[in-house]
Amino acid sequence: MSSPDHRAAGDPQRPFGAPLKRKEDPRLLRGGGSYIADMKMHGMLAAAVVRSPHAHARIISIDTSEAERDPRTRAVLTAGDLPEIEPLVCIDAEETTKPFNQPVIAGDKVRYVGEPVAVVVASDRAVAEDIAELVLVEYEPLDAVVDPERALDDGAPIIHSETNLVDTLEYEIGDSEGAFDGAPHVISERFQTQRYAGTPIETRGMIAEWDERTQSMTLWSSTQVPNTVKGFLAERLGLPGTAIRVRVPDVGGAFGVKIQIYPEEVLISFLAMRLRRPVKWIEDRWEHFVATTHGREQIHDLEIAFDDDGQILGVRDDCITNTGAYLQSLTLVEPFIGVAMLTGPYAVPALRATSRVAITNKTPMNPFRGVGHVQAAFTMERAIDMIARKLDLDPAQVRLLNMIPTESLPLARGIGNVLAGEIVYDSGDYRRCLSRALEISRYEEFAANRERAREEGRLIGIGIGAFVEETGLGPYESGTVRVEPSGRIVVLSGASPSGQGHLTTLAQVAADELGVSIEQVDVVVGDTDLIRWGVGTYASRTAAVGGVAVRNAASAAREKLLRVAADMLEADASDLELAEGAVRVVGSPGSSAPLAEIASRVMPGEELPVGIDEYGIEATDVYHPSSNTFSYGVHISKVEVDRDTGMVKLLEHHVVNDSGTVVNPLILDGQVQGGVALGVGGALLEEVRYSEDGQPENPNFMDYLLPTVETVPIIEVEHMVVPTPINDDGVKGGGEGGAVGAPAAIANAVADAIHPARVNATPLTPVRVFAAMAEAGLVSPLGSGR
Amino acid sequence: MSRHQITLEVNGEEQVKEVDSRTTLADFLREELDLTATHLGCEHGVCGACTVLINGESARTCTVLAVQADGATITTLEGLVAADEDLHPVQQAFWDKHGLQCGFCTPGLVLSVAELLERDPDPSEDEVLEVIGGHICRCTGYTKIREAVAEASRLIRESPRTVGEGR
Amino acid sequence: MKPPPFDYEAPETLDAAIALLGGDEDAKALAGGQSLVPLLSLRLTYPSLLVDLRRIPGLDGIEQTDGSLVIGAMTRQRAAELDDRVRESCPLLGKALTHVAHPQIRSRGTVGGSIAHADPASELPATMLALGGKARIAGPGGNREVDAEALFTGLLTTALEPGELITAIELPTPPANAGSACVEVTRRRGDYAQAGCVALVELEDGSVADSAVAFFGIADRPVRAPEVERAIAGLGPAEAAHEAADAATRTIEPGSDPELSDDYRLHLVGVVVRRAVEQAAKEAK
């Protein structure tokens, strides 16, 4: 299982650790991508979903007669046409969690705008949309509630039954009572993070194809978790697992929102079975805003106790998550991580956290890139800056003082749950990370610049965002490595990608182990018939979990190659090495066997060498990490606030990031930078807004503002490497940290620029920033004398 | 709803087709001509994924009806260079600099940038930002896209060529 | 998100287009389609017929006459933006055009289409208003001209009668020594303005001799601000900018916007006019 030679990751001679260009790209760049919407099947029909226009209403009747009379209609489906189907699952529910699960289609009641009420099928999507307009649904509107605190008040409209409180998670570490008693200082503040929409540029989509001959279903889906979808569909459709194949084509971004198993996956499959025709459904952008899970909406009422030096004594947090109308597959992750990872890289002796989960009439939430961590980092990092302000200390120094020292790692944090397991920080050097970030951002110089700018009437600020992130989650991932008689290496991975570059990084792992170039490796993903065991891509886990499985499988394949080659070369296996696509006798370069010859030697039909009892060279590993890996980073942002408008302009953004050993620095840079941009969106631009009666106010790209190029600065990333002991390669996750650290750093920078104005909520829209500045007396609005 | 015959040149080939009046140019390219590199990300003119070159100028295809493109000359990503040709410098630079991740917004971006650099191989930073500003990328954070544009500019200045030259 | 069914015609004469539009009250004219096609895809409008103006000769192109610039309604925004005559004789229009969405939209969007669509947050109607332009209109009752002041009658509404079409925009070219500016507050480049202002300023001996100021993105239509123009007459640039903000916030009534507080919006009115007058005065010779 060890790496094949002494060369370190990053050695230019070694594919593992090298900034290799991606194998996927030439095809994508020539227009050869094949995303779900690009696919056509013989006889394929198109579906459109009729969705609730009400946030909360009883369904009185559904009249499909006009739709059915239209000669272009191929099918109309409502709840009445379906057999009893189990609702969507919540896999992380605790015993105490109320079972407010979502039906695959609304029957008697709708609970958010966008909930599926009927599905229509026609020859193409435009016609299907015409027919969808003919389905007449009579509703009795009910009072809606969108505010999570109001939802938990007595007398609030009850959305399911009895209560809108799904669950309350409670954690107590150390003696928080004692920590606050007689603490020299306590700061109390409310921190709010808004609702984001995932908005990959490719929306969700699927094609269900029923094969009458084999009585089996192929679902092509843009999911992040094909094997999970397969298991779920088998149960819902009453088919044996062997009758369902889930295939994933190119996926145009996912960011977590394609991890949920959605109603459409059941409904479209059901229609394909009924019609005996392939049925395609491609979500449109409006649907994406109402029918794909959101993330983040969370309130933290935080109290933090500290001494005169800024040493944190204890934290109390009362957290509410607005999870929307129904439980989804991983509803409890956001409320759990939001408090469990609150204290981030800091040694906090006492923590008491209560995390309540409220149901409201909004689109359901589910994990989304940086789940929970974003709010935790925003809350804690703002609080630390407030401590520094109160004591007139440098915020960087307060952080250095409180950071967990390296020698304390590994460190069990005394918190855990069913899915995440026990939180044990594995490895790192938080202080060094911060120090390096201060250095590369020229932090020391900034104070003078800020003062000079203030004298000129300009508002500039600098902010730090430090975080620790739970990455590399289990439960497991599979990897299969096969050496073909042609000499090509085939890698199968259950980590189905959505743009991250798995075909390259996983090839780097296998190539490293087998001494070949990545051009010789073909990585196969996204097909449950080929990949028996697999989970998917989420929680920054592919390099740290899927990569380890590939490493292990490749190592086993390597061992067999050496044993066969030993026979062929009449040498001892221990005298052999793998390099340049061949097994060579060390010190005897003339004596070697190319991989193709070795693999051919054990093909069926050959007489196997003594001691070899299986044909082919192939190995599979299903790797279950013993624990999660904990990545971390420090972001430093510099901003300028336009005092006339409240508009925030990012001047610089620096990241020092530790994802452990880096498989491909180019790809990891991109992951971090993309995460930062998402964080910029959350810090400054993005918010899914609802009216009080639950109507989405900005379900389109004109009004939901995604970061564009001029809103994001050049993002400078430096990787710091403290390998994890959890896996042999020392790899931790890297997919989400960018999104986690950025909002905290940006908010702190804005707060620094407009001190003493209050900054406790995102997004920091111009109107919000301007109002805060006006309240603090920094500016006075024109026309205010009117 | 009316149907209309349209004649247009797409990637160097003349196409004569019947289309519904309501069919957008994007759907026409994708569904009738199977040119699926033209992606639909929003269908309301904001994201830029569906950008192609119409008469040499970058334009959205979700905000143009196929009937409006009667008589036009269109280049989609599939036609930027022939399959057996080397990558166009913009494509090469996006590859070299990791200017794409999921690849969904990439076709529109590559065509917009190709148009920009053909007009001005050494554009100002503001021009670059203006052109990239017409596209939304959710994956890259734009840093590497900006590096890719700078690299493409360098490649083109070192070895000039024009869009679609190789057809 | 696909358009609902509609019929489509692309007539080859203006008369034929007018007849088609006049004969069907649910018919709509189609110019570049950059606003209309998204509205169709969102199914926010259900026209019976689209009358595409692209084949009608004479609607495209820019003409410079003595004292004015005549821009054919079907002239693409991008073409106008890059046109030397526009840059030289009416730089304000060029500046305003660079704020219209993105180059990839302006390559298809037309000048006439933007005026006829009359989006209150759009730059061109306000520019036309500030320049004292007029629309040349053809319709069932013959040709007429309508001043910008009378053209924009409400949210996405113009004085066009059924069957009427804008054939060209006539913009008086400002004196060569005038300075101009188009300033807007947007969340991102290319977005619709939360508040915007176009200004033309002429200086004489360092004081404002004449000016034209119009706002966009603050009400249901573009708003000319004669009170501001009067208030800054005779003032030096710095004072004029300050006074413009003062006069504007005293006299302009911005409409409300669900995203913005009324106070903030009024404040932005002051900010954009101050900046616009400042920039225009700086440019004035």
Say what the pLDDT of residue B159 is. Answer: 84
Q: Does A677 touch chain B (CB under 8 A)?
A: yes
Span C193-222, pLDDT tens digits: 999 999 999 999 999 999 999 999 999 999
Quick: pLDDT tens for A25-77.
999 999 999 999 999 999 999 999 999 999 999 999 999 999 999 999 999 99
Checking if the pLDDT of B164 tops 50, the result is no
Nearest residue of C to residue B56, measured between CA atoms: C107
Q: What is the ipTM of this complex?
A: 0.97
Measure in Å the smallest separation between the Cα of B80 and chain C Cα atoms. Answer: 17
Q: Phi/psi of residue C162, each to 5°?
A: -50, 135
Q: Distance between CA atoms of A784 and A775, rounded to whole angstroms?
A: 13
* A470-503 per-position pLDDT tens digit: 999 989 999 999 999 999 999 999 999 999 999 9
Nearest residue, CB atoms, B45 vs list C30, C34, C54: C34
A714 contact B CB<8A = yes
Determine contact: B136 vs chain A, CB below 8 A: yes
Per-residue pLDDT, A688: 98
| Stretch A352-362: mean pLDDT | 98
- Residue A8's pLDDT is 55
Chain C residue numbers touching A689 (CB-CB < 8 A): 259
pTM: 0.97
pLDDT value of residue A539: 87
**Chains A, B: CB pairs < 8 Å:** 173
- Read off the pLDDT of residues C137-155 as tens digits, 9 standing for 90 and up: 999 999 999 999 999 999 9
The secondary structure of chain B in percent helix, strand, coil, rounded to multiples of 5, reads 35, 15, 45
Region B40-68: mean pLDDT is 98
Cα distances (Å, whole numbers) of residue A630 to A483, A502, A723, B85, C179:
34, 21, 10, 45, 59
Distance CA C83, CA A55 (A): 50
Q: What's the rounded mean pLDDT across residues B13-41?
A: 98
Could you report the per-residue pLDDT of A253-310, keeping only the tens digit for each? 999 999 999 999 999 999 999 999 999 999 999 999 999 999 999 999 999 999 999 9
Distance between CA atoms of residues C115 and C119, nearest Å:
8
Average pLDDT (B156-162) is: 79
Q: Check B65 against C34: CB less than 8 A apart.
A: no
Q: What angle do CA A172, A178, A184 make, to 5 degrees?
A: 120
The burial class, CB within 10 Å (0-12 / 13-18 / 19+), for A786 is: exposed
Strands A185-193 and A298-306, bridge-based pairing? antiparallel
Q: Is A695 on the interface with C (CB under 8 A)?
A: no
Put simply, the answer to whether B47 touches A201 (Cβ < 8 Å) is yes
Asked whether residue A392 carries a pLDDT value surpassing 60, the answer given is: yes
Residues of chain B contacting residue C30, judged by C-beta atoms under 8 Å apart: 65, 68
| Residue C4: pLDDT over 60 | yes
Q: Do A500 and B96 touch (CB under 8 A)?
A: no
Q: What is the mean pLDDT of residues A455-462?
A: 97
Count Cβ atoms below 10 Å from residue A445 Cβ, excluding itself. 10
User: Between chains, do A37 and B102 touch, taking CB under 8 Å as contact?
Assistant: no
Closest CA to C38 of A407, B47, A443: B47
Mutate to test the interface with B, among C49, C104, C188 (most CBs of B within 10 A): C104
Please, which residues 557-596 of chain A have a Cβ atom closer than 8 Å to chain B?
A: none
Residues 6 or more apart from C17 whose CB is under 8 A from it? C11, C29, C51, C53, C56, C165
Res A510: pLDDT? 97
- pLDDT, tens only, C109-133: 999 999 999 999 999 999 999 999 9
Residue B167: the pLDDT is 37
Neighbours of chain A (3+ CB pairs under 8 A): B, C
Q: Quick one: pLDDT at residue A6?
A: 38
Say whether pLDDT at A12 is over 70: no
Quickly tell me which residue has 């977590």 as its tokens. A256
Is a pLDDT exceeding 60 seen at residue C60?
yes
pLDDT at A1 over 70: no
pLDDT at residue C147, rounded to an integer: 98
Distances (CA, A) of A541 to A50, A732, C239: 36, 8, 61
Say whether residue A766 is in contact with chain C using an 8 A CB cutoff: yes
pLDDT in tens, A697-718: 999 999 999 999 999 999 999 9
Q: Residue B165: pLDDT band by 50, 70, 90 thresholds?
A: very low
Q: How confident is the model at residue C285 (pLDDT cuts 50, 70, 90)?
A: confident
> Which of C262, C212, C227 has the alpha carbon at shortest distance from C92?
C212
pLDDT band per the 50, 70, 90 thresholds, residue A3: very low
| Closest chain B C-alpha to C28 CA, distance in angstroms | 14
Q: Which residues of A touch B113 (CB under 8 A)?
A: none
- For residues A563-570, give the mean pLDDT: 96
Tell me, what's the pLDDT at A10? 53
Rounded mean pLDDT of A145-158?
97
Strand blocks (E) in A123-177? 136-141, 165-173
Which residues of B are less than 8 Å from C9 in CB distance?
2
Q: Give mean pLDDT, residues A102-106.
A: 98
Over residues C7-23, mean pLDDT: 97
For range A415-423, the mean pLDDT: 83
To the nearest whole Å, the CA of B155 is away from the closest chain C CA by 24
Tell me, yes or no, if C235 comes closer than 8 A to chain A by beta carbon. Answer: no
Partners of A622 in beta bridges: A478
Which residues on chain A are in Cβ contact (under 8 Å) with C5?
130
Give the residue-averaged pLDDT of A159-184.
96
Q: Do residue B62 and residue C107 have CB atoms under 8 angstroms apart? A: no
User: How many contacts does B have with C, using Cβ atoms within 8 A?
Assistant: 102
Nearest to A253 among B42, B81, B102 (CB): B102
C261 in A contact zone (CB under 8 Å): yes
Per-residue confidence band for A9, with pLDDT thresholds at 50, 70 and 90:
low
Sheet holding A617-623, edge to edge: A521-525, A489-493, A477-483, A617-623
Mean pLDDT of chain C: 96
Please tell me the predicted confidence (pLDDT) of residue B166.
40
**Chain A, 224-263: which have a CB under 8 Å from a chain B CB?**
250-253, 255
Lowest pLDDT segment from A625-629, C231-235, C241-245:
A625-629
